[in-house]
Every structure is written in C-alpha cells, then in structure tokens.
A and B are shown apart, each in its own frame.
Chain A
C-alpha cells in the first residue's frame, strides 16, 4: 500500500515538476508547480510528519504558489522572461541534473541512511516546539530576527512616498 502510494506520489511530483519547467503556458506551469509542492507534502505525510506536511500545504501551496500566480497574471510576460533556448543548453541541463541526482543518490545509499525504521510513531509537534525553545533557542532567535528584518524590508520596499493618499476618507 505504502509502496504504491509512494510510487504514485513520485510520478506525480517528478512529472508535474517536468511539466512546470517545459509547458508553454505560464498559468499551467504554476498549476503544475502547485502539484509538485502538494506531492512533496504527500511525502511528508508518508514520512509520518503531518505537522510539516500541513505547513508545506498552507505555506507553499497556499501562499508561495498564489504569489507566483499573482505575478504571472499581473505582469506582462515579456517583462519578466526573455527566451534563451537552444537544444544544447537543454541537454546540458538534463545531463547535469542526472549527474547531480546520481551523485546524491550514491552518497545516500553509501551512507547509513538507507536503513530506516518503518513502524516508528509520528513525530509529536509538541516535542518540536519544546526543542525549539530549549536546545535550538539560538536558532529560533536568529530566525525571528531574520523574519523581522525581512518584514521591515518588505514594508520599506512597498512604501511609496511619491503618492499622497488622497482617496481615503477615513
């Protein structure tokens, strides 16, 4: 059962990733990207990590993919993409990807990670929180600072001083 689901998810994820790269229509490309990200969420579910899977869905599919859709729909295509296409680049890309995947696969198979337990219980999200507040607290602080800095940066970028807000009545 799990093997069948794993195979189906792999086909879905990799297939839609290829579609996302290759298809002409940008909208269909972003839909395919959503499928890829949902497939990754499915892998997390199979790995007994529903917490990460749900965050994958709500952050990547629910926000990042929406952002991409937004950009694709609102910005004219010629402005964000210029086509550089030839056969050699494509084959070189495929070859590079195959080499990379083979290399990483060799490393993983060669390491001790290939022997894994299948019947372990799912990770408790309370444990994740506890670890974050105790052992990994410096990482949490750094993450919070980075996020706060990026929020401030986004606000600064979005702010426009040349437009006076004369439409608002309140």
Chain B
C-alpha cells in the first residue's frame, strides 16, 4: 500500500497511459502534421539524390537506420545546431549548470560542510533542477515605482549579451558559432555591454541598494576593462592575428602562458573582477547592500541573470583556455573508432548490421573537445576557488588595483613580447614557429 497514492489502481494507471497516447497521436495528426505542412510550404526544401526532401521522405529515411546517421551528420553542420546545441548555447548552459552544482559542493568541501545532500539521493545531484523549478514557479514582482520597460528587458539583454560572448569562443577546430577575423575585438565589444546593462537595470529598479550596486558594478567593470585589453595585447603581438581560432591553432607546440605569464595573471584577476566574484564582489556585497544591483529581481528574472552570469563565467574561462592554455591542443588520447565496424558492420549472433556514415564524430574533434573541456573546467575551478578563501576588498583598493597596478603589470609583458618579437625568437618568421 503506497502512502503517496492510497487509491492507486494499476489498471487505471495503464488506462490513463493509453488515454494520453491516444490524445497525443490524435492531436499530432490533426493539428501537428497540417501545421508542419503549412510551414514546409513556405520553406525551400533541399533536393537529395535527385529527390525533393518532403516530410514523408525524411521520416522514411529516419526510420531506416542506414540513413539516419548521414542525416544527423548533415544536421550537425547547420547553423541552427551550432547555435542551439554544440559549440553554442546548449553546451555552454550544460557546463554552466554543472558549474553551479560544483561550486556549491566545492565551497562546502573547503569549509568542511556537506553542501546540497538530499535532493536526488547521490550527493544532492538534482539540487540544481530543484532550484530551477523553484525559480520558475516563483512570482515575478515588479517594484511599483520601477521603470518597467528597462526593468523587464534588462535580464533578457544580460543573457543575450552573455550568449553573444559564448558564440565567439571556439571549442575545437572549426567548431565555433561565429568566427570573425576580428574575434578578439568582438570580445571586447561584447563585454563592453555588461556595465551598461547592469547600471541601467540598477537605475530602473528605483531602489537605493540596486543603484549603489549598479554604480559599483560600473566603476569596477570600467576600471578592469583596460588592463583586460592590455593583458591580451602580447598574444596579439606574438600571433599577429585577432582571430581566436587562429590564436588557438598557433599554440600547437607551446602555450602562450609560458611567454606571457604576467599577462595571464593580470587577465585572470580581471576575469574575477568582470565576473563580480569574491574578492571583487562589491556590486552584490550581500552584507552591505542586500544583493547589490540584483536586489529587486525575483523569480525567473533573477534566474535569467544567474544563467547569464554563469554563461559569462564559462565564456571567460574558455577565452583564457584559448588564449593562454593552448585551446584544444593536447596529446591525442581519444581512441580511434574501430575500423572493422565501419568495414564489416556489427555482428550480433546471426545478424550483421552495416551502418552507413559511422564514425559520427571524428577522432580529432573528440580529442579537441576533451582537452578544451578539461582545461576550461580547470580554469573554472580556479575562478571558483577564491570564493572559499578570500574576504572582500574595499572599493578604493579595488579601483587602485585596476587603474594602477594591473595596467603597469600588463605593460611589462607587452614589452617582453615586443622584445621577443624584435629579437626574432617568436612571432611571424621567428626562430620557434
């Protein structure tokens, strides 16, 4: 006898399942299929093997396992897949979600706590889903005297800008959403939007805590943007390109962190400040100004800002990997796809299945993704670490660090890079290629 549902009958449960299946099929065939056809009428269909690809044909091919893989393969190279799933939003959101969970457990372990424990049996692994459901189901409260249009648009703009930043990060060779020739400049242009969004939403909420937090965010991000840009100049000087994929490819033999260690340190500190993480979390200092510029957000609006923050965290960690840690370059450790499955097919007893187009992912790509993810996760852990270790610093010390010390330090490595370039050691036409 179950205590959750005392009136439980298995027969009724099965009947309700059939009921659901019936209605789903009915609605799909009466509403869904006509809708698909109406939409397809306006879309130019591709011609494959001399046949025009209609929905029936596509479904027939999908049902045939020997033709499913090529269709999936071609789908994987469309822009839609790039944006939604692999190098774009889906991949980044997955890594960001993992980051949120890992952050909580990691900080708990540092402080000898247990962290989330009960949700999902094993070490609270479903805590994030629980939090997400909580955020979605919570009421969205708009302050009565808020400037409503800006207040509504703020979180969306924040996630959108973070998504634009994510789209510039190359994950492995050729797998990047947007690959402009001036990729690094595009990164600078994108991160320039974050202070504007935070100060505008802070102003729009019409609350003194949000406004103080927003002004602090603005001061902090502007102060650290200049050393951030300066710390990346040595890489540009040594590689002679602004394209992020080419910068990653230029590190096949050695990583730029060897020749630009000071820049790497400056860039890392600037990442911490741009992400408003401890010890630079003055814009959301919870013991001083409630939650800073996030104070008035509630429900999913707060959730969107958190999502944007963690997407930004992933993007900065990925940028650090691409610029200093060699991107996706690494020893080839991923095993090759077994060749006899491609030539002979899979044999199970009397049946032999030959599947066309079988290595769905090629080995170099998987190897690249493996190394990129390992390095990026390492950088993310390094970014999370100060939260458990350091206290918050004062605003004048923060500005002094940004405008003074970091700019000076960044220039040191620019001169080192110039010296290496003019000595003919590195760079285009140097001794070490």
**A residues at B contact (CB < 8 Å):** 27, 31, 34, 50-51, 54-55, 57-58, 61-63, 65-66, 69-70, 73, 122, 124-126, 167-168, 170
Contacts and interface: CB of A to CB of B under 8 A. Distances in A.
B333 interface: no
Interface string B171-196: 00000000011100110110011011
Contact of A167 (B185, B200, B242, B396): B396
11 contacts: A31-B150, A50-B181, A51-B185, A58-B188, A62-B189, A63-B192, A69-B199, A70-B218, A122-B181, A125-B182, A125-B242
Contacts of B180: 50
Contacts of B408: none
A58 B215 CA distance: 19
A21 B150 CA distance: 19
B82 to A, nearest CB: 19
A62 B192 contact: yes
A57 B192 contact: yes
Interface in B237-269: 240, 242
A56 B330 CA distance: 37
B412 interface: no
A61 B199 contact: no
Contacts, number: 62
Contacts of A58: 185, 188-189, 192
A27 B200 contact: yes
Looking at chain B's contact residues, the main secondary structure is helix
Nearest to B149: A28
Nearest to A50: B182
A57 B240 CA distance: 22
Contacts of B397: 170
A54 B185 contact: yes
Contacts of B186: 50, 54
B242 A66 contact: no
Nearest to A67: B222
Contact of A66 (B182, B222, B396): B222
A31 B240 CA distance: 36
A132 B301 CA distance: 47
Interface in B135-184: 147, 150, 180-182
B418 to A, nearest CB: 13
Contact of A73 (B185, B193, B203): B203
A69 B189 contact: no
B181 A61 contact: no
Contacts of A51: 182, 185
B240 A126 contact: yes
Chain B CB within 10 Å — which of A63, A65, A73 has the most? A73
Given A54-B188, A125-B242, A66 B195 contact: yes
Given A27-B203, A58-B189, A69 B196 contact: yes
A168 B395 CA distance: 11
Interface string B263-284: 0000000000000000000000
Contacts of B150: 27, 31
Nearest to A126: B240
B182 A54 contact: yes
Contacts of A70: 218
Contacts of A31: 150, 200
A32 to B, nearest CB: 12
A62 B193 contact: yes
Given A27-B203, A122-B181, A61 B193 contact: yes
Nearest to B153: A31
Interface in B286-320: none
A50 B189 CA distance: 11
B189 A125 contact: no
Given A125-B181, A168-B396, A34 B196 contact: yes
B351 to A, nearest CB: 51
A71 B363 CA distance: 55
Given A50-B180, A58-B192, A63-B222, 8 more contacts: A27-B150, A34-B196, A51-B182, A55-B185, A57-B192, A58-B189, A69-B199, A125-B242
A66 B185 contact: no
Sorted nearest first, the 3 A-B pairs with minimum C-beta distance are A62-B192, A57-B189, A54-B185
Nearest to B180: A50
Nearest to A57: B189
Contacts of B188: 54, 58, 62
Contacts of B147: 27
A27 B203 CA distance: 9
B220 to A, nearest CB: 13
Given A73-B203, A125-B242, A170-B397, A66 B189 contact: no
A77 to B, nearest CB: 14
B408 to A, nearest CB: 15
A87 B203 CA distance: 33
A58 B221 CA distance: 13
Contacts of A61: 189, 192-193, 196
B145 to A, nearest CB: 14
A55 B397 CA distance: 30
Nearest to B242: A125
Nearest to A61: B192
A124 to B, nearest CB: 8
Given A125-B242, A168-B396, A54 B189 contact: yes
B196 A65 contact: yes
A27 B199 CA distance: 11
Contacts of A170: 397
A168 B401 CA distance: 13
A65 B240 CA distance: 31
